[in-house]
Chain A
Amino acid sequence: MAHEGGVPVLEERILEWRSYVGRRRAIDAPDVDELEDHLRSQVADLQEAGLDEEEAFLIGVKRLGELDTLSREFAREHSERLWKRLVVADAEAGTLVGSREALVALGLAVAAALAIKVPELFGLRFDGSPAAESFYIRNVSLLVLPFLAGFFAWKRGLDSAGLLRLAAPFLAGALAMNLLPFEPGGSTMVLAALHLPMALWLAVGIGYAGGAWRNHDQRMNYVRFSGEWFIYYVLIALGGGVLMMFTMFIFSAIGLDAEWLLESWILPCGAAGAVVIAGWLVEAKQSVIENMAPVLTMLFTPLFTLMLLVFLVTIVWTGSGIAMDREVLIGFDLLLVLVVGLLLYSISARDPRAEPGLFDALQLVLVITALLVNALALWAILARISEFGFSPNKVAALGENLVLVVNLGWSAVLYWRFLGGRTGFAPLERWQTAYLPVYAVWAWIVVLIFPLVFGFQ
């Protein structure tokens, strides 16, 4: 039974079917290949049983199952694919949802921008006294992040129990930052102020996950979200910087100084509003923009590995010790944070079913060299810890180091097993998502416990 054009009907039908199935977000091309093989085997068997091509094709397609149900099942198994194309879903559902969401996001961004200025009504000017400065250092994340959390609470339709759970960390943070008798400018205050944004950021994750923060896939999605959010934020900041430069320039051309406007309005309000806007953009981004964080990870993993290897070789070659003071230790902490970040984003973007490859081996080398470099740094500081004594800063830096080393150490073991073919990739993913609460716990310890232990100094 040949078509007029000469192409057999079956081939044409299967092509049509392929393009139809391939449009589903959750089913990728190799899956369509696999399903096609199934369909063709089925059709061949049915034809052998005496059906004609057309009938055999129809029955074969029907047996594969209804496409909606099928793609839902695939979606449940492959949530990482949906992540890239979330917006298309909204586009399918109609533009009304999209535009309402834009309005809500815009409203919340304006609210965040105003919230950052509210303390001025009470005399705490942004560029003013030490009291104002100390207030903003302690509270800036509390003034802004609730609006991002609110956006997700609205978008995911949190119930009242979920809202309460989401609000609790913000309340705890607000109480701690403003009621504890911190010594002005003391290091426990600065530490708490540095760790609060991180603790609250993880709390926003509760809203992001729609309350289902125990779900590992949701956690990984939040990690993806955080990476993309950061990139959007940096891009917006760059754009904002250009805007401000030109504002200064054109107003100075007519002899007016616009600096006060920029400093006390555009910069703080823009920075606050952009937190919500970046969050909304990541949620609503177009499918043409693929995830950037994994791309950057691919780019920088080899470079950082190389840099660390060269550093190790240099230490061994020259025999030079690491000059140890607090700044250096914090520097090494940041290095570990970066390595954990590189690890996290390459894990988040990896197809969990792919075979171990060169890049996975490179990740392991990166983790091991980072651990070695860190071990050298730790050894240097522990050797001299008695000289320095235990200041809050030192304990915080050491604690952070421990938290990160535990993560990286176990990741290295898991990578080793994965590369050896003894386990799949899932344990690595699971380990990273299971570890997220540890960061939250540590951050809260620094915010809530440190001031008490070190007497608010």
Chain B
Amino acid sequence: MDIGKDLVAASATPLVLAILSEGESYGYAIIKRVDELSGGELQWTDGMLYPVLHRLDRNGLVKATWGRSESGRRRKYYRLTDQGSEELANQQRQWQVVNEALRSTPFMSFQLAPQEI
């Protein structure tokens, strides 16, 4: 199943914020986590994550610091700021609204064709 480009873009911010709310992390680990959480269904082009992270950093939602990996390589870590937690809660409410709205339509009871399940 291919998830549409718009939906991938729209879900990037809440996903990254939510993953960072589990604790400090870095780009590659975030991508792996997304893969894990979506059971491999949500495929990001890896590089695209970084402009998203930089935007969140610029807007003060996450904070970036340079550190070292286990092997001693320079690595940039990101962690959620207070403002980021607020934004996460805010996004959560928004997604809930969308979710509720979809649930109350026939959308959720649509019969999926067998090959798509």
Contact = CB atoms under 8 A, between A and B. Distances in A.
B95 interface: no
A38 B73 CA distance: 11
Given A42-B28, A74-B51, A77-B51, A37 B69 contact: yes
Select the residue from A34, A35, A352, A425 with max chain B CB neighbours within 10 A. A34
A74 B48 CA distance: 8
Interface string B67-103: 0010001111000000100000000000000000000
B60 A423 contact: yes
A78 interface: yes
Contact of B48 (A31, A42, A70, A423): A70
A65 B58 contact: no
Contact of B28 (A38, A69, A77, A425): A38
A37 B74 contact: yes
Interface string B1-40: 0000000000000000000000000111001000000000
A73 interface: yes
Nearest to B27: A38
Contacts of A38: 27-28, 31, 46-47, 50
B58 A426 contact: yes
A426 B60 contact: yes
Nearest to B65: A355
A353 interface: yes
A46 to B, nearest CB: 12
Interface residues of A, number: 27
Select the residue from B47, B55, B58, B76 with max chain A CB neighbours within 10 A. B47
Interface string A31-47: 10111011011100000
A422 B63 CA distance: 12
Select the residue from A30, A73, A353 with max chain B CB neighbours within 10 A. A73
A64 B51 CA distance: 12
Contact of A424 (B28, B48, B60): B60
A76 interface: yes
B26 A353 contact: no
A202 B80 CA distance: 39
Given A41-B28, A63-B45, A64-B45, A35 B83 contact: no
Contact of B83 (A34, A41, A70, A423): A423
A77 B54 contact: yes
B54 A37 contact: no
A110 B73 CA distance: 58
A76 B50 CA distance: 12
Contact of A426 (B59, B75, B76): B59
A30 B46 CA distance: 17
Contact of A76 (B26, B51, B59, B64): B51
A35 B50 contact: yes
A34 B60 contact: no
A320 B31 CA distance: 65
A324 to B, nearest CB: 43
B47 A35 contact: yes
A21 to B, nearest CB: 10
B83 A353 contact: no
Interface size class on chain B is: 20 to 34
Interface string B96-116: 000000000000000000000
Contacts of B28: 37-38, 41-42
B54 A78 contact: yes
Contact of B45 (A37, A65, A77, A353): A65
Interface string A144-171: 0000000000000000000000000000
A42 to B, nearest CB: 6
A424 B26 CA distance: 20
A34 B27 contact: yes
A33 B45 contact: no
Given A77-B54, A424-B59, A37 B47 contact: no
A76 B55 CA distance: 10
Select the residue from A38, A65, A74, A423 with max chain B CB neighbours within 10 A. A38
Contacts of A40: 73
A423 B69 CA distance: 28
A64 B58 contact: no
A65 B28 CA distance: 14
A405 B4 CA distance: 49
A336 B97 CA distance: 48
Interface string A58-76: 0000011110011001101
Interface string A399-432: 0000000000000000000000001111000000
Contacts of A70: 45, 47-48
Interface of B: 26-28, 31, 45-48, 50-51, 54-55, 57-60, 64, 69, 73-76, 83
Interface of A: 30-31, 33-35, 37-38, 40-42, 63-66, 69-70, 73-74, 76-78, 352-353, 423-426
7 contacts: A33-B76, A37-B28, A37-B73, A65-B45, A353-B54, A353-B57, A423-B60
Given A38-B27, A63-B45, A77-B54, 8 more contacts: A37-B73, A40-B73, A74-B50, A78-B54, A353-B64, A424-B58, A424-B60, A426-B60
Q: Which 7 A-B pairs have the closest CB atoms?
A: A424-B60, A65-B45, A65-B47, A41-B28, A64-B47, A77-B51, A70-B47
